[in-house]
Amino acid sequence: MNYEETLHYLYQQLPEYQRIGHLAYKEGLDNSLALDAYFHHPHHHFKTIHVAGTNGKGSTCHLLAAILQESGYKVGLYTSPHLLDFRERIRVNGKMIDKNYVVDFVEKHRAAFEPIKPSFFELSMEMAFLYFADCKVDVAVIEVGLGGRLDSTNIISPDLCVITNIGFDHMQYLGNTLPKIAAEKAGIIKAGVPVVIGEIEAEDVRSVFVEKARKEGSPLVFAETALPHLSSVERNEEWIFDAPGYPALKDELGGWAQQKNARTVLVAVEELKKAGYSIPPEAVHSGFAKVVELTGLMGRWQVVNKRPKTVCDTGHNAHGIRYIAGQLKHEHYRLLHIVFGMVNDKDINAVLALLPKDAVYYFTRASVERAMDEKTLATQAAAFGLQGGTYPTVASAVHEAQKKAAEDDFIFIGGSSFIVADALPLFL
């Protein structure tokens, strides 16, 4: 098989949660442990950092990877989902896994992993671990896929755990209250391993982490307490932060949520230094300033066109959309155009309630099975005063928005990672 045929095999033979939803969800670690045993526990050959949370996981992982890379470490990075190419999920020092490695991995090992019946995510994770070991990375930053306690990645023994925040998402698997969701995310906390909690909005959520860390004997750090003095200013689609030890810290990422992520990352860096990592201040500055260049991160308030200004963002739940809605209010434009679609297992109404009413909407659906029907979405949106047309593909929605928008208008594209994934090839 060539690379394209190998990907087709993986998509067809292994259930992928991101594309088909609950039918691919496999609760528990049995498959991961079986795969790991077959591959002789490759993650034992390098250090790891484990990152969970409702939102901001990807940005946090990429920032940490960039900083460690600039500190002189050889860094593996495992994230999901991908936007344009499967290989985005598995990187070493920012470079995607080689296509031939993906092909050889499947051809060499399919007879062993097929009887295990792993999910797409479980097998991708083990491929990443084996690749990192073969590349002899010093450390790998590992993003949790869903939840934490029962996530496939929860077989590693990290040097540091990071939980970015807690919001409502994936309630059908994680629970319908914030403390229940927090308890699932807290499942990545390991005995004696330091844990950084990025953002806490409720005392009952805080208590979940305090109790779990106490049981595990894990040093617990709340980023908002550890780094209360973080000032920020937005300039030319970038953030400039000022924090103790890091004056005028320029962040290449432009979304409002990045202020929260920056605090989490800076506190995580201090914990890594306590654990023996050598991370000079200049590496932190360089990692923040060049995170996109160093890691290939896409889809975080990404400006893809200047006139009219056009932005893509992968925010896909109420916790993330509220930052986007707030940022849209502070943009300057004549008219706001929003190309919007969601997947069908989200809290649609909670998101629609946050979106601006003074915009022209282009309701659409992404090219995945989980995508919500655009006409159904438009009907639900109308109940919240959101008006616009419906378009069967993201490309048709984007082209219509571009046709109608004046140069001093603003086009926002989002609602789902998959909307962004379908839109980016139109610009890149």
pLDDT of residue 20: 44
C-alpha 148/C-alpha 409 separation (Å) is 41
pLDDT at 210 over 60: yes
Does 127 have pLDDT greater than 70? Answer: yes
Report the C-alpha gap between 398 and 358 in whole angstroms: 18
User: How far is it, in rounded angstroms, from Cα 173 to Cα 181?
Assistant: 9
Between these two residues, 256 and 271, which has the higher pLDDT value? 271
DSSP labels, 158-202 = -SEEEE----S--HHHH-SSHHHHHHHHGGG--TT--EEE-----
Q: Poorest-confidence range of 23-37, 121-135, 370-384, 414-428?
A: 23-37
pLDDT at site 170:
52
- Structural domains in the chain, sorted by start: 3-295 (3.40.1190.10), 302-426 (3.90.190.20)
Q: Exposed (0-12), middle (13-18) or buried (19+): which is 5, by Cβ within 10 Å?
A: exposed
In this prediction, residue 119 carries a pLDDT of 87
Work out whether the CA dihedral 182, 183, 185, 190 comes out positive or negative.
positive
Chain centroid to CA 417: 9
pLDDT-derived band at 146, boundaries 50, 70, 90: confident
The pTM for the full model equals 0.94
Integer Cα distance of 332 and 325 in angstroms: 13
Q: Is residue 221 within 8 Å of residue 205, measured between CB atoms?
A: no
**Quick check: 135 pLDDT over 50?**
yes
Report the DSSP pairing between strands 95-96 and 309-313.
unpaired
Residue 255 pLDDT class (50, 70, 90 cuts)? confident
Segment 135-147 shows an average pLDDT of 95
The predicted pLDDT at position 225 comes to: 95
Task: Check: CB of residue 342 under 8 Å from CB of residue 372.
Answer: yes
Helix (H) or strand (E) holding 337: strand 336-340
Tell me the mean pLDDT in the region 281-301: 96
CB 144 within 8 A of CB 63: no
Give the model's pLDDT for residue 172: 60
Which has more pLDDT, 313 or 11?
A: 313
Position 171 confidence tier, pLDDT thresholds 50, 70, 90: low
Q: What rounded mean pLDDT belongs to the chain?
A: 93
pLDDT of residue 21 exceeding 60, the answer is: no
What are the residues whose beta carbons fall under 8 Å from the beta carbon of 129, sequence distance 6 or more?
A: 36, 39, 42, 43, 78, 140
Residue 44 has pLDDT above 80, yes or no: yes
Spell out the residues 6+ positions from residue 422 whose beta carbon is closer than 8 angstroms to its own: 366, 367, 393, 394, 395
- Residue keyed to tokens 């991708």: 124
pLDDT, residue 167, reads 78
Give residue 173's pLDDT band: very low, low, confident or very high (50, 70, 90).
Answer: low
Distance CA 163, CA 191 (A): 16
The residue count for the chain: 428
Average the pLDDT over 307-325 and give the result.
Answer: 93
221: tokens are 């750090």
CA 328 – CA 86 distance, rounded (Å): 31
Closest CA relative to residue 80, chosen from 171, 149, 141, 10: 141
* pLDDT value for 26: 55
Name, in order, each residue with C-beta under 8 angstroms of 3's C-beta and a sequence gap of 6 or more.
99, 100, 102, 103
The pLDDT tens digits of the residues spanning 6-19 come to 998 988 877 553 44
